[in-house]
Amino acid sequence: MATISHEVFQGYPCVRITLDGGDSALVALHGAHVLSWTSRGRERLYLSPGTVWDGHAAIRGGIPVCFPQFNLRGDLPRHGFVRNLPWSLDTDFAQGSGGTLRMRLASDAATHALWPHDFAISLDISLAPGQFTITLDVHNPGAHDLHFSGALHTYLAVSDLPNAALVGLAGQAEWDAVRDTHGVGAERLQFSERFDRVYAAPAGALHLQDPSGPVEISRSPSWANWVVWNPGEELSNTMPDLVPDSYQHMLCVEAAQVFEKIAVPPGAHWQGWQRMRLAD
């Protein structure tokens, strides 16, 4: 059974969903940004202690929603604009031993000033014991196709990056954004330096191996890519919203659409999800 509560975190209005067994998730109305997922007594997302909580800057860590643009691949601000807008809590509902929060945002004069298209998006944050699912739904209420890219920019907490590994991308097409080279994914990815790569998403799940315990990571087929990112020591030290050792405690593994935009016909919906499950 799920309990819903409202609280303020760092000055931001938030909604928390808590399960009987103790699992919980905290979501800010600012950006519908997931700030925390705790399960089995541990925080499973990384939230930077250097985040600037001024209501304007993007929150560093957790799960920001990148829409309608991935990174700087277009004319919009980095990763689009919805992560910096106020969303509303639409509804919440129980699902057996779990529950879901649904957040909503629709186009208005402020978004039209940045991007001329009409849209209505919702974000479901679904919690079950040992499992977290985030689902983005994009509705096109306009008269023409809606084109977008984006990601569920998930910062996973790791206890010891040098001893962590990501498995499941062997043989997949790989673009290394640091070196601007193309290749194929290794069987076991490890992280001793800055890492920024985009992969063609395989059918199966990925597996994060970390001393704190393994995590299975999966995504809907509607996302074409996985993005794997860690800033490494040198870049981390230049980023004002990261503390010096941030890179050692996080790994971004993101269901994404990077190279080719998704097209949503008039009146239609597109939906894409990412799921994290604690392995036994």
Residues whose CB falls within 8 Å of the CB of residue 26, separated by 6 or more in sequence, listed in order: 7, 9, 14, 15, 16, 34, 35, 36
Residues whose CB falls within 8 Å of the CB of residue 192, separated by 6 or more in sequence, listed in order: 162
Longest dimension (CA), the chain: 51
Closest by CA position to 198, among listed 185, 189, 208, 210 = 185
Residues whose CB falls within 8 Å of the CB of residue 44, separated by 6 or more in sequence, listed in order: 37, 38, 132, 156, 157, 215, 276, 278
Asked if 81 and 111 touch (Cβ cutoff 8 Å), the reply is yes
Rounded to whole angstroms, how far apart are CA atoms 109 and 229?
A: 34
Joined tokens for residue 111: 């978004």
∠ CA 267-219-40 to the nearest 5 degrees? 125
Q: Which residue among the candidates 30, 33, 249, 254 is catalytic per the annotation? A: 254
Q: Which residue among the candidates 33, 153, 174, 249 is catalytic per the annotation? A: 153
Rounded to whole angstroms, how far apart are CA atoms 165 and 132?
A: 20
Active site residue 153: yes
Asked if 18 and 101 touch (Cβ cutoff 8 Å), the reply is no
Cα-based distances in Å from 52 to 14, 80, 170: 17, 19, 37
Judged on CB neighbours under 10 Å (0-12, 13-18, 19+), 228 is buried
Q: Which residues are catalytic?
A: 153, 254
